[in-house]
Structure 1
Amino acid sequence: MQAFWDQILDFSQTITTEVGAKLLAAFGGAHAEEKSDGSLVTEFDKWSDERLRTAIHDAFPDHGVLSEETTHVFPDTDWCWIIDPIDGTTNFTQGIPLWAVSLGLLYRGTPVFGYIYLPTLNQRFHGYWPGTSGLDLPIGAFLNDKPIQVRPDDPGKNQFFSLCARSTDVLKQSFPCKVRMLGVATYNLLIVAAGYAIGAVEATPKVWDIAGIWPIVHAAGATWISLDDKPPFPLTVGENYEKRPFPTLLLNRADLVEQFRPLVQVVVGDRSSKR
């Protein structure tokens, strides 16, 4: 089984390096179109999507694929990759050097491996987390191959908490941390796993925003709260995930949920008016 996971990691590093190199060459100069949900897409999102799907099919022909740009229905396969070809397309088109390529590998509907590459930062996150899968895999979370974990700190005015663009109503009340907004859903949550922030919230992430980071943040010791009380995983075979949001609160410690959930729960009630 270790050989399989070595293959998965090597494949993820190789294909994201290839895709990242082309995206870096186009960074800041891509023309974007607006999709029906108001988000942006470029020709490079589409190219990256196609390249990733083709590479997965060639390397793992029995694995399914679910993608932001093309296939949104979860397939009837034991193994499925969920890909986000460019997370942070708006940053990518506007020349802001913070965007990512995201891969998540699911076993029977639950992510067990994730790989996130931020080419402009030369940061590569990956992690393994079996959850309830029963798989024998090397549990751990890593940034550039070095182990990472959440920081144990208490909230404070010099501690970071990350918001998304649809969660700014949180600031209509007193908030116990410094706020940051990054424009990249994966990185927004990964900074908790890396120990840079003690918490983060995403109001409307889609499955391709969270599948890759799910194993990483859990292996790093973070606490994941589904703000709509609907567990994200396992996914359901045959269901279309194009429009389903997964409002999420991520914290460095479970004992802080009681303090922070009431402060961020507003993002669930207000999310429909902010799309």
Structure 2
Amino acid sequence: MTVIDFTAFIDRLATASGETILPFFRTTLLGVENKSASRDFDPVTEADRAAEAVMRRMIQANFPEHGVVGEEFGNQNEDAEYVWMLDPIDGTKSFIAGFPIWGTLIALLHRGMPVFGMMHQPYIGERFSGDNRSSRYRGPSDGRKLAVRRCPSLQEATSFTTSPLLMNPDDRAAFSKVEAEVRLTRYGGDCYSYCMLAAGHLDLVIETELKPYDIAALIPIITGAGGVITTWEGKPAQGGGRVVAAGDRRVHEAALKLLNC
């Protein structure tokens, strides 16, 4: 069984999760809970849980031998040959604030490696997908192949991070070195930043404290578009943690040097 066998099913997962989420978006009746035991705010909504539950039921019905790792309902058979990683709403804080810069992340791992990923934004009607060899965009007006853009130096780069306030003090200090060098830094975006990098609209994304389900779906999208994504140590990124994604290897290498000096 090859990755191509799963593409139609992944589209069905995206459609079903989107249909589940949209009735909750931009409604004043949305229930929000804080998952954090500390003073931090780590929200979860009814939409997160309902969408993940729908996708899990579909996976279990169609591929009962597969594993599932999800943000809301934990891990099931995670040592299986094929494992699905699900983040029903990446960018929940934007979701509850009514901003459409969130998405559903669906990843398929084969023997621990992400081999297919999709980011679905059902409100706008956009799907970004990739299989490490090529990546595509489908939206309201068109569909096209994704390709990163060339950027020879940090000084010419546009950089994104969700928020430096999410970083610990040491990581924030390291990030500030990169921020001081790039042409433009913007905050926010969550999964959308990585998709805009794959589409050639920005050059660098730097994050910390990521969970595997936050990043696994985005790796095949970025690499399929010609980009590079690793940890701050230059290792594979599917385990999450501190992550650097770039469209041009020269920018990636320069960012790594500053983050680790």
Is 1:257 the counterpart of 2:260? The answer is no
What amino acid maps onto 2:148 in structure 1? Answer: V
Residue 180 (structure 2) aligns with: 174
Q: Give yes or no for contact 2:154–2:254 (8 Å, CA) kept in 1.
A: no
**What whole-Å deviation, never above 9, does each CA across 1:71-112 have from its counterpart, x for those lacking one?**
246622100100001111111111111110111000011110
Q: Which amino acid aligns with 2:205?
A: A
Asked if 1:141 is matched to 2:147, the reply is: no
Which residue is 2:61 aligned to? Answer: 58
Q: For 2:96 and 2:256, how far apart are their aligned partners in 1? A: 33
Match of 1:81 in 2: 84
**Greater strand share, structure number:** 2
Q: Is the 8 A contact 2:162 2:187 kept in 1?
A: yes
Per-residue CA deviation, residues 114-133 of structure 1 (Å, 9 max, x unaligned), is 1110112221011112xxxx
- Residue of structure 1 in register with 2:35 after alignment: 35
Question: Which residue identity lines up with residue 246 of structure 1 in the other structure?
Answer: G
Query: Secondary structure at 1:224's aligned position in 2?
Result: strand
> CA, structure 1 residues 74+205, in 2 after alignment: closer, same or farther (shift >3 Å)?
farther
Quote how far apart the aligned CAs of 1:246 are. 1.7
Match 1:14 to one of 6, 12, 15 = 12
Partner of 1:272: none
Deviation at 1:154, TM superposition (A): 3.2
Pair 1:105–1:95, CA change in 2 (3 A):
same
Cα distance, 1:50 vs. partner?
Answer: 0.6
> Which amino acid in 1 is paired with 2:255?
F
The answer to whether residue 106 in structure 2 is matched with residue 100 in structure 1 is no
Q: Hey, what's the Cα distance between the residues in 2 that align with 1:265 and 1:189? A: 22
Q: 1:219 to 1:257 in 2, by over 3 A?
A: same
Instruction: Please state whether the residue corresponding to 2:250 is helix, strand or coil.
Output: helix
CA RMSD after TM alignment: 2.4
Query: Which sits farther off after the overlay, 58-67 or 253-262?
Result: 253-262
* Structure 1 unmatched ranges of 5 or more: 130-138, 236-244, 267-275
Q: Is the 8 A contact 1:228 1:246 kept in 2?
A: no
Q: Which residue of 2 aligns with 1:117?
A: 120
Query: Is the CA contact 2:109–2:115 (under 8 Å) kept in the aligned structure 1?
Result: yes
**Do the aligned residues in 2 keep the contact of 1:98 with 1:121 (CA within 8 Å)?**
no
Residues 210/109 of structure 1: CA separation in 2 closer, same or farther (3 Å cut): same
User: How far apart, in 1, do the equivalents of 2:54 and 2:248 lie?
Assistant: 38
TM-score by length of 1: 0.80
Work out which of the residue numbers 161, 186, 193 in structure 1 matches 2:198: 193
Distance 1:113 1:40, change over 3 A: same
Q: How far does residue 231 in structure 1 lie from its aligned partner after superposition? A: 3.0
Aligned-pair CA distance for 1:15: 2.3
Q: Does 1:220 align with 2:225?
A: yes
* Identical-residue share of aligned pairs (%): 28
- Over 3 Å counting, the alpha-carbon distance change for 1:41 and 1:265 in structure 2 is farther
Q: 1:181 to 1:72 in 2, by over 3 A?
A: farther
Q: 1:31 to 1:126 in 2, by over 3 A?
A: same
Conserved? CA contact 1:155–1:177, under 8 Å: no
Q: Cα distance 1:25–1:230, how it changes in 2: closer, same or farther (>3 A)?
A: same
CA distance in 1 between partners of 2:212 and 2:77 (Å): 10
Deviates more, 1:20-29 or 1:68-77: 68-77
Cα distance in 2 for residues equivalent to 1:50 and 1:181: 31
Rounded to whole Å, the distance in 1 between the matches of 2:154 and 2:80 is 45
Contact 2:154 2:181 in 1 (8 A): no
Choose the corresponding residue for 2:150, options 137, 145, 152: 152
CA distance in 2, matches of 1:36, 1:222: 33
Unpaired segments of 5 or more residues in structure 2? none
